Structure 1
Amino acid sequence: MESAMPDATKDRIIDATTLLIQESGIDALSMDAAADAAGVSRKTVYNYFDNKFTLAEEVANQWIYHFLTDLASIVNDPTLDFVTKINLILSRGFAKMHLGNNMLRPRQKLKIDRRINEMKRELRERLRLFIQQIVQEAHGSHLIRQEFETKRLAWIFINIVEGFLLIDEFEDIPFSKIDLLKDSLRAVIRGILSEQGFIALQDSPIFSTDGYGSGEADSLAVQGGTP
Protein backbone atom coordinates (compact mmCIF):
# COMPACT_ATOMS: atom_id res chain seq x y z
CA MET A 1 0.00 0.00 0.00
CA GLU A 2 2.85 2.40 0.74
CA SER A 3 4.17 2.11 -2.81
CA ALA A 4 0.80 3.19 -4.18
CA MET A 5 0.75 6.46 -2.29
CA PRO A 6 3.52 8.26 -4.23
CA ASP A 7 1.89 7.37 -7.55
CA ALA A 8 -1.46 8.62 -6.27
CA THR A 9 0.13 11.91 -5.20
CA LYS A 10 1.88 12.33 -8.54
CA ASP A 11 -1.36 11.62 -10.40
CA ARG A 12 -3.12 14.15 -8.20
CA ILE A 13 -0.56 16.81 -9.12
CA ILE A 14 -0.81 15.97 -12.83
CA ASP A 15 -4.62 16.03 -12.78
CA ALA A 16 -4.73 19.34 -10.91
CA THR A 17 -2.14 20.87 -13.25
CA THR A 18 -4.10 19.66 -16.27
CA LEU A 19 -7.19 21.45 -14.96
CA LEU A 20 -5.13 24.57 -14.22
CA ILE A 21 -3.78 24.67 -17.77
CA GLN A 22 -7.21 23.95 -19.20
CA GLU A 23 -8.69 26.93 -17.37
CA SER A 24 -5.82 29.43 -17.50
CA GLY A 25 -3.35 28.27 -20.14
CA ILE A 26 0.17 26.93 -19.77
CA ASP A 27 1.57 30.43 -19.15
CA ALA A 28 -0.20 30.45 -15.77
CA LEU A 29 1.73 27.39 -14.63
CA SER A 30 4.25 27.64 -11.80
CA MET A 31 5.30 25.19 -9.12
CA ASP A 32 3.40 27.25 -6.54
CA ALA A 33 0.27 27.28 -8.71
CA ALA A 34 0.51 23.51 -9.22
CA ALA A 35 0.92 22.95 -5.48
CA ASP A 36 -2.09 25.14 -4.67
CA ALA A 37 -4.21 23.43 -7.31
CA ALA A 38 -3.31 19.95 -6.03
CA GLY A 39 -3.59 20.88 -2.36
CA VAL A 40 -0.03 19.82 -1.59
CA SER A 41 3.12 21.63 -0.56
CA ARG A 42 5.55 23.16 -3.02
CA LYS A 43 8.18 20.71 -1.75
CA THR A 44 5.92 17.78 -2.64
CA VAL A 45 5.64 18.98 -6.23
CA TYR A 46 9.44 19.23 -6.41
CA ASN A 47 9.69 15.66 -5.13
CA TYR A 48 8.22 14.51 -8.45
CA PHE A 49 9.18 17.23 -10.93
CA ASP A 50 12.43 19.17 -11.28
CA ASN A 51 10.68 22.33 -12.46
CA LYS A 52 7.53 23.59 -14.15
CA PHE A 53 8.86 22.60 -17.56
CA THR A 54 9.15 18.90 -16.71
CA LEU A 55 5.70 19.10 -15.11
CA ALA A 56 4.22 20.75 -18.21
CA GLU A 57 5.85 18.12 -20.43
CA GLU A 58 4.36 15.30 -18.36
CA VAL A 59 0.90 16.89 -18.51
CA ALA A 60 1.17 17.28 -22.30
CA ASN A 61 2.37 13.69 -22.66
CA GLN A 62 -0.57 12.44 -20.62
CA TRP A 63 -3.04 14.48 -22.67
CA ILE A 64 -1.66 13.24 -26.00
CA TYR A 65 -1.65 9.63 -24.78
CA HIS A 66 -5.27 9.73 -23.58
CA PHE A 67 -6.44 11.70 -26.63
CA LEU A 68 -4.86 9.28 -29.11
CA THR A 69 -5.96 6.22 -27.12
CA ASP A 70 -9.54 7.47 -27.16
CA LEU A 71 -9.41 8.13 -30.91
CA ALA A 72 -7.82 4.73 -31.58
CA SER A 73 -10.57 2.95 -29.65
CA ILE A 74 -13.12 4.60 -31.96
CA VAL A 75 -11.27 4.21 -35.25
CA ASN A 76 -10.32 0.57 -34.66
CA ASP A 77 -13.70 -0.59 -33.32
CA PRO A 78 -15.01 -3.08 -35.92
CA THR A 79 -18.56 -2.80 -34.55
CA LEU A 80 -18.85 0.90 -35.49
CA ASP A 81 -19.78 2.12 -38.94
CA PHE A 82 -18.32 5.23 -40.59
CA VAL A 83 -21.15 7.54 -39.52
CA THR A 84 -20.94 6.45 -35.88
CA LYS A 85 -17.16 6.92 -35.86
CA ILE A 86 -17.46 10.42 -37.27
CA ASN A 87 -20.12 11.36 -34.71
CA LEU A 88 -18.09 10.01 -31.78
CA ILE A 89 -14.88 11.70 -32.89
CA LEU A 90 -16.66 15.02 -33.34
CA SER A 91 -18.49 14.90 -30.01
CA ARG A 92 -15.39 13.89 -28.01
CA GLY A 93 -12.71 15.58 -30.03
CA PHE A 94 -13.90 19.19 -29.93
CA ALA A 95 -13.95 19.33 -26.13
CA LYS A 96 -10.47 17.84 -25.85
CA MET A 97 -9.04 20.18 -28.46
CA HIS A 98 -9.69 23.11 -26.11
CA LEU A 99 -7.30 21.61 -23.58
CA GLY A 100 -4.79 20.68 -26.26
CA ASN A 101 -4.77 24.24 -27.55
CA ASN A 102 -3.85 25.59 -24.10
CA MET A 103 -1.10 23.03 -23.58
CA LEU A 104 0.48 22.99 -27.02
CA ARG A 105 0.42 26.69 -27.75
CA PRO A 106 2.04 28.74 -24.96
CA ARG A 107 2.03 32.52 -25.43
CA GLN A 108 5.49 32.87 -23.88
CA LYS A 109 8.74 31.23 -24.92
CA LEU A 110 9.27 28.10 -22.84
CA LYS A 111 12.26 25.83 -22.39
CA ILE A 112 10.12 22.91 -23.53
CA ASP A 113 9.28 24.50 -26.89
CA ARG A 114 11.39 21.91 -28.70
CA ARG A 115 9.65 19.03 -26.95
CA ILE A 116 6.24 20.63 -27.58
CA ASN A 117 7.07 20.83 -31.28
CA GLU A 118 8.00 17.14 -31.22
CA MET A 119 4.67 16.37 -29.56
CA LYS A 120 2.85 18.37 -32.22
CA ARG A 121 4.57 16.41 -34.98
CA GLU A 122 3.72 13.12 -33.29
CA LEU A 123 0.12 14.20 -32.78
CA ARG A 124 -0.15 15.39 -36.39
CA GLU A 125 1.12 12.09 -37.80
CA ARG A 126 -1.12 9.94 -35.60
CA LEU A 127 -4.15 12.08 -36.39
CA ARG A 128 -3.34 11.91 -40.10
CA LEU A 129 -3.27 8.11 -39.99
CA PHE A 130 -6.54 7.96 -38.05
CA ILE A 131 -8.26 10.38 -40.41
CA GLN A 132 -6.88 8.64 -43.48
CA GLN A 133 -8.20 5.30 -42.22
CA ILE A 134 -11.69 6.73 -41.67
CA VAL A 135 -11.68 8.51 -45.04
CA GLN A 136 -10.62 5.29 -46.77
CA GLU A 137 -13.54 3.47 -45.13
CA ALA A 138 -15.93 6.18 -46.29
CA HIS A 139 -14.43 6.13 -49.77
CA GLY A 140 -14.82 2.37 -49.97
CA SER A 141 -18.46 2.68 -48.88
CA HIS A 142 -19.10 5.32 -51.58
CA LEU A 143 -19.97 7.94 -48.98
CA ILE A 144 -17.34 10.27 -50.44
CA ARG A 145 -17.28 11.38 -54.04
CA GLN A 146 -14.87 9.12 -55.88
CA GLU A 147 -12.80 11.90 -57.47
CA PHE A 148 -11.29 12.83 -54.08
CA GLU A 149 -8.01 11.16 -53.08
CA THR A 150 -8.01 9.86 -49.51
CA LYS A 151 -4.43 10.90 -48.63
CA ARG A 152 -5.04 14.44 -49.83
CA LEU A 153 -8.29 14.67 -47.87
CA ALA A 154 -6.51 13.49 -44.72
CA TRP A 155 -4.00 16.35 -45.04
CA ILE A 156 -6.81 18.84 -45.63
CA PHE A 157 -8.44 17.81 -42.34
CA ILE A 158 -5.09 17.95 -40.52
CA ASN A 159 -4.48 21.50 -41.77
CA ILE A 160 -7.90 22.57 -40.53
CA VAL A 161 -7.26 21.13 -37.06
CA GLU A 162 -3.74 22.60 -36.90
CA GLY A 163 -5.12 25.99 -37.86
CA PHE A 164 -7.40 25.77 -34.85
CA LEU A 165 -4.43 25.01 -32.59
CA LEU A 166 -2.26 27.82 -33.95
CA ILE A 167 -4.50 30.88 -34.22
CA ASP A 168 -5.21 33.21 -31.31
CA GLU A 169 -8.65 33.77 -29.87
CA PHE A 170 -10.65 36.36 -31.77
CA GLU A 171 -11.33 39.78 -30.33
CA ASP A 172 -14.55 41.73 -30.95
CA ILE A 173 -15.95 38.91 -33.09
CA PRO A 174 -19.10 37.04 -31.99
CA PHE A 175 -17.75 33.53 -32.57
CA SER A 176 -15.06 31.35 -31.07
CA LYS A 177 -12.26 29.24 -32.51
CA ILE A 178 -14.31 26.11 -31.91
CA ASP A 179 -17.12 27.64 -33.99
CA LEU A 180 -14.64 28.28 -36.78
CA LEU A 181 -13.33 24.72 -36.59
CA LYS A 182 -16.83 23.27 -36.79
CA ASP A 183 -17.73 25.54 -39.70
CA SER A 184 -14.55 24.59 -41.56
CA LEU A 185 -15.12 20.87 -41.10
CA ARG A 186 -18.78 21.23 -42.00
CA ALA A 187 -17.91 23.01 -45.24
CA VAL A 188 -15.30 20.45 -46.27
CA ILE A 189 -17.37 17.40 -45.32
CA ARG A 190 -20.41 18.76 -47.13
CA GLY A 191 -18.30 19.36 -50.23
CA ILE A 192 -16.81 15.86 -50.42
CA LEU A 193 -19.88 13.77 -49.61
CA SER A 194 -21.65 11.81 -52.29
CA GLU A 195 -25.44 11.91 -52.35
CA GLN A 196 -25.41 8.59 -50.50
CA GLY A 197 -22.97 10.02 -47.97
CA PHE A 198 -25.07 13.09 -47.33
CA ILE A 199 -28.16 10.98 -46.68
CA ALA A 200 -26.17 8.82 -44.24
CA LEU A 201 -24.71 11.83 -42.40
CA GLN A 202 -27.58 14.32 -42.51
CA ASP A 203 -28.41 13.74 -38.82
CA SER A 204 -24.77 13.95 -37.72
CA PRO A 205 -23.81 16.66 -35.16
CA ILE A 206 -21.63 18.24 -37.84
CA PHE A 207 -24.78 19.43 -39.62
CA SER A 208 -26.90 20.23 -36.56
CA THR A 209 -25.99 23.92 -36.13
CA ASP A 210 -28.83 26.37 -36.74
CA GLY A 211 -28.52 28.52 -39.80
CA TYR A 212 -27.07 25.90 -42.13
CA GLY A 213 -30.29 24.51 -43.48
CA SER A 214 -31.14 20.95 -44.37
CA GLY A 215 -33.19 18.89 -46.70
CA GLU A 216 -33.80 19.92 -50.29
CA ALA A 217 -31.23 22.71 -50.63
CA ASP A 218 -28.43 20.61 -49.14
CA SER A 219 -29.39 17.56 -51.16
CA LEU A 220 -29.27 19.61 -54.35
CA ALA A 221 -25.92 21.10 -53.33
CA VAL A 222 -24.47 17.60 -52.96
CA GLN A 223 -25.70 16.73 -56.44
CA GLY A 224 -24.34 19.97 -57.87
CA GLY A 225 -27.80 21.38 -58.58
CA THR A 226 -29.58 24.55 -57.53
CA PRO A 227 -32.94 24.93 -55.75
Structure 2
Amino acid sequence: MTTLKPIAADRLLLEELVPGGHHWSGLLRRGSVLRLTDLQGGANVSTLFYHHDEKLERYNMPDTLKAQHTAYLTAGHTCHSDMGRVLCSIVADSVGWHDTWCGAVDAEQVRAKYGDTSFQQQRNDMYRNGRDGLLVELGKWGLGKRDLVANVNFFSKAVCDETGGLRFVEGHSRAGDAVELRFEMNTLVVLSTAPHPLDPKPRYAPAGVRLSAWRGDPVTADDACRTRCPQNGRAFANTERFYAV
Protein backbone atom coordinates (compact mmCIF):
# COMPACT_ATOMS: atom_id res chain seq x y z
CA MET A 1 0.00 0.00 0.00
CA THR A 2 1.14 3.55 -0.69
CA THR A 3 0.31 7.01 0.61
CA LEU A 4 -1.85 9.18 -1.65
CA LYS A 5 -0.67 12.74 -2.21
CA PRO A 6 -2.89 15.82 -2.68
CA ILE A 7 -3.70 16.74 -6.28
CA ALA A 8 -2.25 20.06 -7.43
CA ALA A 9 -5.10 22.32 -8.58
CA ASP A 10 -3.16 23.60 -11.62
CA ARG A 11 -2.74 20.02 -12.91
CA LEU A 12 -6.33 18.83 -12.47
CA LEU A 13 -8.00 17.72 -15.71
CA LEU A 14 -11.20 16.01 -14.56
CA GLU A 15 -13.27 15.39 -11.45
CA GLU A 16 -16.46 13.40 -11.80
CA LEU A 17 -18.77 11.23 -9.68
CA VAL A 18 -19.92 7.83 -10.94
CA PRO A 19 -22.83 6.61 -8.76
CA GLY A 20 -23.04 2.97 -7.72
CA GLY A 21 -24.37 0.74 -10.49
CA HIS A 22 -23.61 3.22 -13.27
CA HIS A 23 -21.00 3.21 -16.03
CA TRP A 24 -18.49 5.59 -17.62
CA SER A 25 -15.89 5.78 -20.38
CA GLY A 26 -13.28 8.28 -21.50
CA LEU A 27 -9.88 8.91 -23.02
CA LEU A 28 -6.90 9.20 -20.67
CA ARG A 29 -3.87 10.44 -22.57
CA ARG A 30 -0.29 9.28 -22.15
CA GLY A 31 1.21 10.98 -19.11
CA SER A 32 -2.05 11.56 -17.26
CA VAL A 33 -3.02 9.98 -13.92
CA LEU A 34 -6.49 8.81 -12.88
CA ARG A 35 -7.45 8.34 -9.22
CA LEU A 36 -10.46 6.13 -8.39
CA THR A 37 -11.81 6.82 -4.89
CA ASP A 38 -14.26 4.56 -3.06
CA LEU A 39 -16.78 6.99 -1.55
CA GLN A 40 -18.76 4.68 0.73
CA GLY A 41 -16.70 1.54 1.20
CA GLY A 42 -17.28 -1.75 -0.57
CA ALA A 43 -17.07 -0.29 -4.09
CA ASN A 44 -16.40 -2.41 -7.15
CA VAL A 45 -15.17 -0.90 -10.41
CA SER A 46 -15.14 -3.38 -13.31
CA THR A 47 -12.67 -1.81 -15.74
CA LEU A 48 -11.38 -2.40 -19.27
CA PHE A 49 -8.52 -0.69 -21.11
CA TYR A 50 -8.04 -0.22 -24.88
CA HIS A 51 -5.39 1.59 -26.91
CA HIS A 52 -7.43 4.61 -28.02
CA ASP A 53 -5.58 5.05 -31.32
CA GLU A 54 -5.91 1.37 -32.34
CA LYS A 55 -8.64 -0.30 -30.36
CA LEU A 56 -7.73 -3.83 -31.44
CA GLU A 57 -4.96 -3.50 -28.88
CA ARG A 58 -6.36 -3.94 -25.39
CA TYR A 59 -5.68 -5.08 -21.82
CA ASN A 60 -4.52 -8.70 -21.66
CA MET A 61 -5.13 -10.29 -18.27
CA PRO A 62 -3.06 -13.49 -18.79
CA ASP A 63 0.03 -11.60 -20.00
CA THR A 64 -0.32 -9.00 -17.23
CA LEU A 65 -0.40 -11.63 -14.48
CA LYS A 66 2.13 -14.01 -16.00
CA ALA A 67 4.72 -11.29 -16.67
CA GLN A 68 4.57 -10.02 -13.08
CA HIS A 69 4.13 -13.39 -11.34
CA THR A 70 0.96 -12.30 -9.56
CA ALA A 71 -2.72 -13.17 -9.32
CA TYR A 72 -3.92 -9.69 -8.33
CA LEU A 73 -2.94 -6.07 -8.96
CA THR A 74 -1.66 -3.36 -6.63
CA ALA A 75 0.88 -0.52 -6.56
CA GLY A 76 3.95 -1.29 -8.67
CA HIS A 77 2.04 -3.44 -11.16
CA THR A 78 1.30 -2.54 -14.76
CA CYS A 79 -1.57 -3.45 -17.08
CA HIS A 80 -0.07 -4.98 -20.23
CA SER A 81 -1.66 -4.93 -23.67
CA ASP A 82 -1.80 -7.88 -26.02
CA MET A 83 0.99 -6.19 -28.01
CA GLY A 84 3.47 -6.34 -25.13
CA ARG A 85 3.14 -2.67 -24.21
CA VAL A 86 2.04 -0.90 -21.00
CA LEU A 87 -1.40 0.70 -21.09
CA CYS A 88 -1.24 1.98 -17.51
CA SER A 89 0.70 1.57 -14.29
CA ILE A 90 -0.64 1.44 -10.73
CA VAL A 91 1.42 4.13 -9.03
CA ALA A 92 -0.46 4.40 -5.73
CA ASP A 93 -2.93 2.19 -3.88
CA SER A 94 -4.39 2.30 -0.38
CA VAL A 95 -6.27 -1.00 -0.82
CA GLY A 96 -3.53 -3.51 -1.63
CA TRP A 97 -5.42 -6.06 -3.76
CA HIS A 98 -7.60 -5.71 -6.85
CA ASP A 99 -9.38 -8.73 -8.35
CA THR A 100 -8.38 -9.92 -11.83
CA TRP A 101 -10.23 -13.24 -12.04
CA CYS A 102 -13.95 -12.88 -11.58
CA GLY A 103 -15.17 -10.76 -14.51
CA ALA A 104 -18.18 -8.45 -14.52
CA VAL A 105 -21.60 -9.36 -13.12
CA ASP A 106 -24.23 -10.02 -15.81
CA ALA A 107 -28.01 -9.57 -16.01
CA GLU A 108 -28.80 -13.17 -15.07
CA GLN A 109 -26.63 -13.01 -11.95
CA VAL A 110 -28.18 -9.70 -10.86
CA ARG A 111 -31.71 -11.04 -11.44
CA ALA A 112 -31.01 -14.23 -9.48
CA LYS A 113 -29.46 -12.39 -6.53
CA TYR A 114 -31.47 -9.17 -6.26
CA GLY A 115 -34.68 -9.71 -8.24
CA ASP A 116 -35.99 -8.37 -11.52
CA THR A 117 -36.39 -4.61 -12.06
CA SER A 118 -36.58 -2.34 -15.08
CA PHE A 119 -36.24 1.33 -15.97
CA GLN A 120 -40.02 1.48 -16.50
CA GLN A 121 -40.55 0.33 -12.90
CA GLN A 122 -37.81 2.11 -10.98
CA ARG A 123 -36.26 4.63 -13.35
CA ASN A 124 -32.69 5.42 -12.25
CA ASP A 125 -33.02 3.07 -9.27
CA MET A 126 -33.18 0.05 -11.56
CA TYR A 127 -30.67 -2.76 -10.95
CA ARG A 128 -27.89 -2.39 -13.50
CA ASN A 129 -25.32 -5.08 -14.23
CA GLY A 130 -21.66 -4.69 -15.10
CA ARG A 131 -21.59 -6.55 -18.40
CA ASP A 132 -24.38 -4.50 -19.96
CA GLY A 133 -22.90 -1.30 -18.55
CA LEU A 134 -19.57 -2.04 -20.20
CA LEU A 135 -21.32 -2.86 -23.48
CA VAL A 136 -23.22 0.45 -23.40
CA GLU A 137 -19.95 2.34 -23.03
CA LEU A 138 -18.14 0.24 -25.62
CA GLY A 139 -20.89 1.00 -28.12
CA LYS A 140 -20.09 4.72 -27.84
CA TRP A 141 -16.63 3.99 -29.28
CA GLY A 142 -17.63 1.58 -32.05
CA LEU A 143 -16.90 -1.54 -30.00
CA GLY A 144 -19.19 -4.39 -28.92
CA LYS A 145 -19.53 -7.91 -27.52
CA ARG A 146 -16.55 -9.32 -29.35
CA ASP A 147 -14.38 -6.68 -27.65
CA LEU A 148 -15.26 -7.76 -24.10
CA VAL A 149 -12.21 -9.31 -22.45
CA ALA A 150 -11.29 -10.22 -18.88
CA ASN A 151 -11.52 -7.06 -16.78
CA VAL A 152 -10.01 -5.75 -13.55
CA ASN A 153 -12.32 -5.34 -10.54
CA PHE A 154 -10.78 -2.45 -8.63
CA PHE A 155 -11.44 -2.38 -4.85
CA SER A 156 -12.56 -6.04 -4.74
CA LYS A 157 -10.73 -9.09 -3.43
CA ALA A 158 -11.48 -12.75 -4.18
CA VAL A 159 -9.31 -15.59 -2.93
CA CYS A 160 -9.12 -19.35 -3.57
CA ASP A 161 -10.04 -21.84 -0.88
CA GLU A 162 -8.51 -25.30 -0.42
CA THR A 163 -10.85 -26.81 -3.02
CA GLY A 164 -10.05 -24.21 -5.66
CA GLY A 165 -13.31 -22.32 -5.17
CA LEU A 166 -13.36 -18.52 -5.10
CA ARG A 167 -14.39 -16.61 -1.99
CA PHE A 168 -15.25 -12.90 -1.87
CA VAL A 169 -13.55 -10.94 0.95
CA GLU A 170 -16.05 -8.56 2.55
CA GLY A 171 -14.99 -5.22 4.01
CA HIS A 172 -11.87 -5.14 1.85
CA SER A 173 -12.17 -1.53 0.68
CA ARG A 174 -13.24 1.27 3.00
CA ALA A 175 -14.64 4.74 2.40
CA GLY A 176 -11.83 6.98 1.16
CA ASP A 177 -9.66 4.19 -0.22
CA ALA A 178 -8.20 4.97 -3.63
CA VAL A 179 -6.04 3.63 -6.44
CA GLU A 180 -4.08 5.72 -8.97
CA LEU A 181 -3.40 4.72 -12.57
CA ARG A 182 -0.74 6.45 -14.65
CA PHE A 183 -1.34 6.07 -18.37
CA GLU A 184 1.62 5.12 -20.55
CA MET A 185 -0.45 5.11 -23.77
CA ASN A 186 -3.48 7.04 -25.00
CA THR A 187 -6.02 4.75 -23.38
CA LEU A 188 -9.77 4.31 -23.62
CA VAL A 189 -11.00 3.49 -20.12
CA VAL A 190 -14.39 1.76 -19.80
CA LEU A 191 -15.83 1.03 -16.36
CA SER A 192 -18.92 -0.04 -14.43
CA THR A 193 -19.65 0.43 -10.73
CA ALA A 194 -22.12 -2.47 -10.54
CA PRO A 195 -21.55 -5.05 -7.75
CA HIS A 196 -18.84 -7.71 -7.92
CA PRO A 197 -20.18 -11.08 -9.18
CA LEU A 198 -19.36 -12.80 -5.87
CA ASP A 199 -20.49 -10.03 -3.51
CA PRO A 200 -22.76 -11.83 -1.00
CA LYS A 201 -24.70 -8.76 0.18
CA PRO A 202 -28.44 -9.55 -0.22
CA ARG A 203 -29.43 -5.98 -1.10
CA TYR A 204 -28.51 -4.16 -4.31
CA ALA A 205 -26.62 -1.12 -3.04
CA PRO A 206 -23.36 -0.63 -4.97
CA ALA A 207 -21.06 2.17 -3.84
CA GLY A 208 -20.18 5.20 -5.92
CA VAL A 209 -16.68 6.31 -6.89
CA ARG A 210 -15.04 9.62 -7.66
CA LEU A 211 -12.80 9.98 -10.72
CA SER A 212 -10.00 12.55 -10.54
CA ALA A 213 -7.53 12.97 -13.40
CA TRP A 214 -4.46 15.20 -13.68
CA ARG A 215 -1.24 15.71 -15.61
CA GLY A 216 1.43 13.44 -14.17
CA ASP A 217 5.22 13.63 -13.98
CA PRO A 218 7.52 12.01 -16.59
CA VAL A 219 8.47 8.38 -15.98
CA THR A 220 12.03 8.06 -14.66
CA ALA A 221 14.50 5.25 -15.32
CA ASP A 222 14.15 4.02 -11.73
CA ASP A 223 10.34 4.09 -11.72
CA ALA A 224 8.98 1.38 -9.38
CA CYS A 225 6.56 -0.01 -11.99
CA ARG A 226 9.23 -0.10 -14.70
CA THR A 227 11.82 -1.85 -12.54
CA ARG A 228 9.49 -4.30 -10.80
CA CYS A 229 10.56 -7.14 -13.10
CA PRO A 230 12.43 -7.59 -16.42
CA GLN A 231 9.17 -8.11 -18.31
CA ASN A 232 7.92 -4.69 -17.21
CA GLY A 233 11.16 -3.08 -18.38
CA ARG A 234 10.75 -4.65 -21.81
CA ALA A 235 7.09 -3.59 -21.99
CA PHE A 236 8.04 0.02 -21.17
CA ALA A 237 10.75 -0.11 -23.85
CA ASN A 238 8.17 -1.40 -26.37
CA THR A 239 5.82 1.43 -25.41
CA GLU A 240 8.50 4.10 -25.76
CA ARG A 241 9.59 2.67 -29.13
CA PHE A 242 5.99 2.91 -30.36
CA TYR A 243 5.74 6.61 -29.46
CA ALA A 244 9.23 7.39 -30.72
CA VAL A 245 8.18 6.22 -34.19
Bigger Rg, which one:
1
- Greater strand percent: which structure? 2
TM range (shorter): under 0.3
Q: Is the helix fraction higher in 1 or 2?
A: 1
TM-score, structure 2 length as denominator? 0.25
